[in-house]
Amino acid sequence: MKTIKIALVGQPNVGKSFLINAMGDVKLKVGNFSGVTVEKKTITFSRDNYNFEVTDLPGSYSLTDYTSEERVTKDFLGASDYDLILNVIDSTNIERNLYLTMELLALDQKIVVALNMQDEAVKEGVHINERQLSKLLGVKCVQTSALEKTGIDELIEAIINTNKQSSQPFHLQYSDVYEEEISKITHFLEDKHYQTNTHLKSIAIKLLREDGETYHHFHDQPIWTELQPLLNKSYQHLYLHYKTKDLDEIFHDEKNALAKGAVTESVKFDTTKAVGLTDKIDAVLTNQFIGLPIFLFLMWGLFQITFEWGSIPMDWIDAFFGMLIDGTKSFLGDTELASVIADGAIAGVGAVVLFLPNIIILFTGIALLESTGYMSRAAFLLDGFFHKFGLHGKSFVPLVSGFGCSVPAYMAARVLKNDRDRLLTLYIIGFMSCGAKLPVYVLIIGAFVAEEHAGNMLFAIYILGALLGVFAAKILKMTVFKGEDEPFVMEMPKYRLPTLKLLYHTVSEKAWMYLKKAGTYILLASILIWFASNYPKHPDMEAQYASNIEQVVADENKVSKLNNELALYNLENSYLGMIGHASEPFFAPLGFDWRMAVALETGLAAKEIVVATMGVLYGLGDEHDEQSASLVDKLKANISLPAAIAFTIFVMIYFPCLAASMVFRREAGGWKHWGYLFVFTTGTAWILAFIAFNIASVIF
Amino acid sequence: MTLNMLKKGQSATIIAIHSEKELKNRFNSFGLIKGSIITVERHTLGGKTMEIRINKTRMALRLSEAETVEISA
């Protein structure tokens, strides 16, 4: 079977991934583009005796270096080996999409154009004559609808046929002035018998745009001495004619004029059809006065739902793991093995899986915000506010992603082009409490806040974290990251309802990632923590307690009291206890005991482990209690309210988990920043927790 | 006259763009180019950011950036 390698290119929000998924039984591989952290999706499928290998390039408005994503797309198209470009277009906004197509056509590669979202276009009265457009562009254009799965077979056929062609002739005809300068250069190259695989016209355009790489290439060749004066003359002509000295602008003018021309000749707009749905929604959602309150309400609603709805399946999961632990113990007896499996592995993983419902609901919410197009409205509404704190409206996207998980959030910060702006955003992403911190908050809230206020409290914690974050940004901006701001220019895409399939994919991917973490990393950490909390053993102490218990065996109360004492003694003198005690002086001013200290330290590996650790530390001590009180009750009995508040604040701010901090190091550009972040977050967390503890101690 | 002076609901044609290359390229890829007609959709409450429409593209930008876009009313 033959393999066709396809570079999938399109502007953002044209549904190109969705289109590929509609092509058949596809296999997706997610990786990274070498050298950068931009996600590389490779999709493979077989059809009609061909293997298709599709590289899904990041959505780009044009082939520029504006964002790292666009740089990846540009570099891939310029250098990588692929057989043809599949350019996906949003038919409802065809002219702007054709700007990119015109740039692609200047690359001198085989191209097939998919006029996607055809169903929507028809509804909006946009009628494209695909044959006419194919003729104008000189490449095959196929109308498709990923949603209704139309045009897919024709598209595959076009890809196969285009691939068979030896090469596509350069078809674009620019304006007479531009063509004249192009032909001067191509004639010169022909006369010189210049050897190349690339179309001469394509080279000429690059020279006329002052493309750095092409320049470099020619600069070291003898031909350059004659080419240079020729180019200078061409530039002078163009400057004169276009009344600007910006060669890029001249090319863009040409390109856009071509797109406009193509649309005029091949697209009919039925203006009688009303298109105003997005306008109607926007009139409310981005309204000057009610836009922001609506946004805050939506966010509040999301956190309410996360907490309220999430608690139902959480009870089931809790009960399930409780059963599993009891079952394991009764099956294996009262042995070390039973303890490591039940109290270590199952309890630890169970504490993490418990929060899966919350994670799913929260990520569904974020995915909805993103895929409907509301996210950029929010960025629009918030830019004025963000800008005051030295942030960028676009910082909103990584910051909101930070509520899900810091790892993708750090990566999302790449939408910010200016290094200073990006670094600033990177530094405060941690203030946005990630999904893994949610279990800690839920636990503490469950223990200290009445049930009817739980949702509000959770919301308050998230808001407080975010507010602290923007203030920290302001301080950093005034001190460390002084300088010019990055421009804020952003598309407000049309509102679209995401398909269930898309939502399912996005959310299940996240949920799966979370579970995988629970299954591997956290399982290992749970067992380690179990070991560290159970060893070293103290046989003499145990023997002493055993004989003491024998003496009072008739009095059940005394027995259980002694058993508790022993368990506590064992814990305090375990490895974990030693670590906790050693760091106690550091945490003592915040009102934390050694167990809380240990929980925070294990949380450096992953925030979910904070809860797992507390489960082990507070759970084991009361193992023989008749009524097996829940972790919540144990916390209430062991931790004071001011300490709990300080603990919550510390968790809110302190150093991100191992995985996230590694991504941060990569994105920020080195260990130096990693170190800064450690000092910055730990320092801020300590100071704020200290203040909170002391204020709370006075009040309560 | 520059784009930032345009009021809600008003339209104008772009005469020239005086921004730096980067911003200009970005404007370009959205269709904000010499000769295109823009309509102001709305401003934010703080009055620092505006939403405009060019053909079928809606985009948000700051007024400080709109200042670099010369228009004829």
Q: Do B33 and A381 touch (CB under 8 A)?
A: no
Are A380 and A411 found together in one domain? Answer: yes
In this complex, is the C-beta atom of A611 within 8 Å of any C-beta atom belonging to chain B?
no
Q: Are A641 and A444 in contact (CB under 8 A)?
A: no
- Structural domain ending residue among the three candidates A164, A193, A211: A164
Cross-chain residue pair B48–A383, CB shorter than 8 Å: yes
Q: Are residues A695 and A594 in the same domain?
A: yes
Give the closest of A286, A417, A490 to B59, CB-based: A490
Contact A391, A415 (CB under 8 A): no
Q: Which residues on A lie below 8 Å from B24 (Cβ)?
A: 246, 248-249
Is A490 in contact with B61 (Cβ distance < 8 A)?
Answer: yes
3-state per-residue secondary structure call for A205-225? HHHHCCCHHHHHHHHCCCCHH
Please check whether residue A660 lies inside any domain of the structure: yes
**A116-130, A195-209, A298-312: lowest mean pLDDT where?**
A298-312
Q: Please indicate, yes or no, if residue A611 is contained in any of the structural domains.
A: yes
Evaluate whether residue A169 is within a structural domain. no
Q: How many CA atoms lie within 13 A of A197 on its CB side?
A: 3
Task: With cut-offs at 50, 70 and 90, classify the pLDDT of residue A410.
Answer: confident
Which of helix, strand or coil describes residue A357? helix
Q: How many CB atoms lie within 10 A of CB A187?
A: 13
Q: Which of A199-208, A367-376, A413-422 has the lowest mean pLDDT?
A: A413-422
CB A246 within 8 A of CB B24: yes
Short-list A600, A608, A441, A434, CA closest to A519: A608
A584 and A654 co-located in one domain? yes
| A248–B21 CB contact, under 8 Å | yes
CB A394 within 8 A of CB A380: no
Q: pLDDT-based confidence at A692, cuts 50/70/90?
A: very high
Provide the token pair at B11: 């339209």
- In chain A, the percentage of residues whose pLDDT exceeds 90 is 30
Instruction: Summarize pLDDT for A150-173 with one digit per residue, the tens.
Output: 999 999 999 999 999 877 677 788
Q: Which residues span the domain enclosing A195?
A: 176-243
Answer yes or no: do A109 and A235 share one domain.
no
pLDDT bin (cut points 50, 70, 90) of residue A34 is low
- Most confident range (mean pLDDT) of A16-25, A322-331, A343-352 is A322-331
User: Does residue A232 contact residue A210 with C-beta atoms inside 8 Å?
Assistant: no
Q: What does the longest C-alpha to C-alpha distance in chain A come to?
A: 110
Encode pLDDT of A587-636 as tens digits: 999 999 888 998 898 888 778 778 877 877 776 544 444 334 567 787 88
Residue A5's pLDDT is what? Answer: 95
Residues 6+ apart with CB under 8 A from A662: none
Confirm or reject contact between A261 and chain B (CB < 8 A).
no
Q: Which helix (H) or strand (E) holds B54?
A: strand B49-54
Q: Is the pLDDT of residue A366 over 60?
A: yes
Which of A380, A392, A419, A491 should be substituted to probe chain B, the one whose Cβ sees the most B Cβ atoms within 10 Å? A380
A positions 134-153 inside 8 Å of B (CB): none
Distance from CA of B46 to the nearest CA of A (A): 6
pLDDT at A273: 65
Is B43 close to A256, i.e. CB distance below 8 A?
Answer: no
How far apart, in Å, are the Cα atoms of A13 and each of A43, A117, A147, A264, A372?
Answer: 18, 11, 14, 24, 10
Domain count, chain A: 3
> Cβ–Cβ of A64/B61 closer than 8 Å?
no
A41 found inside a domain: yes
Please tell me the predicted confidence (pLDDT) of residue A589. 94
A455 lies in the same domain as A515: yes
Question: What residues pair up with B52 in beta bridges, in sequence order?
Answer: B40, B59
Residue after which a domain boundary falls, among A134, A164, A194: A164
- Tell me, yes or no, if A385 comes closer than 8 A to chain B by beta carbon: yes
pLDDT higher than 80, residue A39: no
Exposure on the CB side of residue A183, measured as CA atoms within 13 A: 8
Beta-carbon-side half-sphere exposure of residue A454 (alpha carbons within 13 Å): 20
Write down the pLDDT at residue A624: 40
Q: Do B44 and A288 touch (CB under 8 A)?
A: yes
What is the DSSP pairing of strand B57-62 with strand A489-491? antiparallel
Output the pLDDT for position A628: 42
Residue A274 covered by a domain:
no
Distance from CA of B3 to the nearest CA of A (A): 14
> Could B27 and A393 be called an inter-chain contact, meaning their C-beta atoms sit closer than 8 Å?
no
Instruction: Compute the average pLDDT of residues A429-433.
Output: 92
Cβ-Cβ contacts under 8 Å, A393 against chain B: 49, 60
Instruction: Delineate the domains of chain B, giving CATH numbers in brackets.
Output: 3-72 (2.30.30.90)
Residue B4 has pLDDT above 90, yes or no: yes
pLDDT greater than 50 at residue A445: yes
Quickly state the pLDDT bin for B37 (edges 50, 70, 90).
Answer: very high
Q: What backbone phi and psi angles, to 5 degrees, belong to A164?
A: -70, -30
Q: Which two tokens mark A69?
A: 């994503």
- B-chain CB neighbours of A248 within 8 Å are 21, 24-25
Distance of CA B47 to the CA centre of its chain: 14
Instruction: Give the residue on A whose Cα is nearest the Cα of B24.
Output: A249
In angstroms, the CA A38 to CA A412 distance is 9
d(CA A115, CA A121): 10
SS3 A655: coil
- DSSP lists the bridge partners of residue A40 as A31
- Provide the β-strand partners of residue A2: A50
* Identity of the residue in A246, A288, A393 whose CB atom sits nearest the CB atom of B45: A288
- Same domain (yes/no): A143, A96: yes
Interface contact B13, partner A, CB < 8 A: no
Domain-embedded: residue A556: no
Contacts of A175 in chain B (CB under 8 A): none
Contact predicate A465/A688, CB 8 Å: no
The answer to whether position A555 is within a domain reads no
* pTM greater than the 0.90 cutoff: no
Inter-chain touch A380–B51, beta carbons under 8 Å: yes
* Contact A21/B at CB under 8 A: no
pLDDT band, residue A528 (cuts 50/70/90): confident
The predicted structure's pLDDT at residue A33: 63
At A149, the amino acid letter reads: K
B18–chain A Cβ distance below 8 A for any pair: no
Residue A592 and residue A469 in one domain:
yes
Specify the DSSP class assigned to residue A43. E
DSSP state of B70: E
Residue A1: what pLDDT?
82
Last residue of a domain, one of A141, A164, A187: A164
User: What's the rounded Cα separation, in Å, for the pair A122 and A94?
Assistant: 13
Residues of A in contact with B51 (CB under 8 A): 282, 286, 380, 492
- Contact predicate A115/A91, CB 8 Å: yes
Beta bridge partners of A90: A116
Residues A662 and A621 in one domain: yes
* pLDDT reading at A583 higher than 50: yes
Q: How far apart are CA A272 and CA A281, in angstroms?
A: 20
Search chain B and give the residue with CA nearest A493: B58
pLDDT of A139 strictly over 70: yes
* Beta-sheet strand order (sheet of B49-54): A489-491, B57-62, B49-54, B37-43, B11-17, B69-72
Sheet architecture: strand order including A2-10: A27-32, A39-47, A50-56, A2-10, A84-90, A111-116, A140-143
Report the residue from B26, B34, B55 with minimal CB separation from A489.
B26
Task: Give the pLDDT band of residue A443 (cuts 50, 70, 90).
Answer: confident
For A64-93, the pLDDT digits (tens) are 876 777 888 988 998 878 999 999 999 999
Question: What's residue A625's pLDDT?
Answer: 42
Note the pLDDT of residue A623: 45
Query: What does A481-525 look like in DSSP terms, one character per residue?
Result: S-SPPPP-EEE-PPP-PPPHHHHHHHHHHHHHHHHHHIIIIIHHH
pLDDT higher than 70, residue A9: yes
| Cβ proximity of A489 and B23 under 8 Å | yes
Is pLDDT at A463 greater than 70 in this prediction? Answer: yes
Nearest residue of A to residue B17, measured between CA atoms: A249
The band of A54, judged by pLDDT with boundaries at 50, 70 and 90, is: very high
Write the residue in A61, A92, A494 that is nearest to B29 by C-beta.
A61
Mean pLDDT of chain A: 85
Same domain, A662 and A518: yes
In terms of Cα–Cα distance, which of A264, A266, A63, A23 is closest to A152?
A23
Output the pLDDT for position A646.
Answer: 95
Query: Taking a contact as any Cβ pair under 8 Å apart, which residues of chain A between 281 and 310 contact chain B?
Result: 282, 286-289, 291-292
Q: A277: Cβ–Cβ under 8 A, 6 or more apart, which residues? A: A495
Domain contains A267: no
Name the residue among B43, B47, B61 with its Cβ closest to that of A489: B61
Q: Is the pLDDT of residue A143 over 90?
A: yes
Higher pLDDT residue, A198 or A255?
Answer: A255
Residue whose entry in the numeric block shows the structure tokens 């009750």: A633
Q: Is B34 on the interface with A (CB under 8 A)?
A: yes
Instruction: Give kind and range of the element (H or E) at residue A176.
Output: helix A176-191
Q: Do A578 and A684 share a domain, yes or no? A: yes
ipTM: 0.93
Whether the pLDDT of residue B52 is over 90: the answer is: yes
| Same-domain check for residues A64 and A160 | yes
Shared domain check, A141 and A78: yes
Which residues, in sequence order, are CB contacts of A141 under 8 Å at separation 6+?
A: A112, A113, A114, A115, A128, A130, A133, A134
SS3 track for A76-104: HHHHCCCCEEEEEEEHHHHHHHHHHHHHH
Question: A38 pLDDT band (50/70/90 cuts)?
Answer: low
- Rounded CA-CA distance A663/A665 in Å is 5
Note whether A9 contacts B: Cβ–Cβ < 8 A: no
